Amino acid sequence: MSNQLTRRDALKGLALGTAAALALKQGLISAEEAVSETLKLKGNIRQSVSYWCFGSIPLEEFAEICKKLGLVGIDLLTPDQWETVTKKDLIVTMGSVPGAGIDPGFNHVENHDKLVKCYEETIPLAAKAKVPNLICLSGNRRGIGDEEGLENCVKGFQRIVPLAEKHGITLHLELLNGIGHKDYQADHTAWGAEIVDQLGSERFKLLYDIYHMQIMEGNLIDTIKTHADAIGHYHTGGNPGRAEIDQTQEICYPAVMKAIHETGFKGFVAHEFVPQRKDKLGSLRQAIEICDI
């Protein structure tokens, strides 16, 4: 009789956990079967996930999967998608703003009128839908220096922060790496934190993308501790390649999550990695367990 574990053996009486992880690794059960029971988390880190990384799954179905995996919400959704998620008792942890992308951005004053209009339309919608956060982006340098770009961003954000304050919405400036997103201006934490400081509003924070800042700066834990007051949201991703956040990449996510928790952070950590394995949901489950410190 063969000692090889069969798919039937793996499924028979299988309790999710180490056994499920091993079975997934060996390709013996599907990701759908792996999320057939709710994953119980400690809850020290409120975890979410960016939908675009799993966009091949219909959003309503994906929302059900997220609930079973213990996630509190889904990130980077447009207003037309919000109700699909909120009706499942999940939070839209970061909303996107139609018409406001990576570039053109707030670092060029000629873009301000257009962008301000986008936020004036979306902020009230977010408040009505109980979406707590909206994303902002600096834009590409396009020849302007960091000092001028910072000054222009402050001027632009000053026009929308009062409306965000009125409606109880927090705006988040995302930090991206300037290599993959060539010429993007908000590519260092200190630069973004200076904007937060100058605006002086609890309704304007940084979206600290761990993957992007590992590329640009490294020194993640010290940076997170230094700028904890300026950071309102986190994204994950494995480096190199923005792949799984497991042992195949260079960031020690349990240590980073521990540091985030020790700062007293109460916001959301959203997974934004692009799965490289065929079993995408297995990768998501693994990431959730890694960050459940």
Q: Are residues 177 and 145 in the same domain?
A: yes
* Burial class of residue 181 (count of CB atoms within 10 Å of its CB; 0-12, 13-18, 19+): middle
Give the model's pLDDT for residue 70.
97
Looking at the structure, do residues 23 and 47 belong to the same domain, yes or no? Answer: no
Claim to verify: residue 83 and residue 11 sit in the same structural domain: no
Number of domains present in the structure of the chain: 2
Q: By the 8 A CB rule, do 48 and 268 touch? A: yes
**Single-letter amino acid code for the residue at 51:** Y
Q: What is the CATH number of the domain that holds 89?
A: 3.20.20.150
Asked if residue 2 and residue 142 are part of one domain, the reply reads: no
Residues 88, 211 within the same domain: yes
47 shares a domain with 29: no
Does 148 share its domain with 116? yes
Handedness of CA 56, 62, 68, 71 (dihedral sign): positive
Quick one: 272 and 227 in the same domain? Answer: yes
Q: What is the pLDDT of residue 26?
A: 44
Residue 272 and residue 228 share a domain:
yes
Q: In terms of domains, do 102 and 223 share one?
A: yes
| pLDDT at residue 233, as a whole number | 99
Kindly state whether residues 26 and 82 are assigned to the same domain: no
**Which pLDDT score is estimated for 38?**
78
Look at residue 204 and give its three-state secondary structure.
Answer: strand
Average pLDDT, consecutive stretches of 10 residues, N- to C-terminus, the chain (293 residues):
33 37 47 68 97 97 97 98 98 98 96 98 98 98 98 98 98 97 97 98 98 98 98 98 96 98 98 96 96 98
Question: What range does the domain containing 273 cover?
Answer: 38-291
Give the residue carrying structure tokens 């919400």: 73
Using alpha carbons, list the distances in angstroms from residue 20 to 5, 42, 226, 278: 13, 19, 38, 16
Residue 186 φ/ψ region, left for φ over 0, alpha for ψ in the -120 to 50 degree band, beta for the rest = beta
Q: Which phi and psi (to 5°) does residue 77 adopt?
A: -110, 145
CA 100 – CA 138 distance, rounded (Å): 10
Question: Do both 114 and 243 map to the same domain?
Answer: yes
Other Cβ atoms less than 10 A from the Cβ of 247: the count is 9
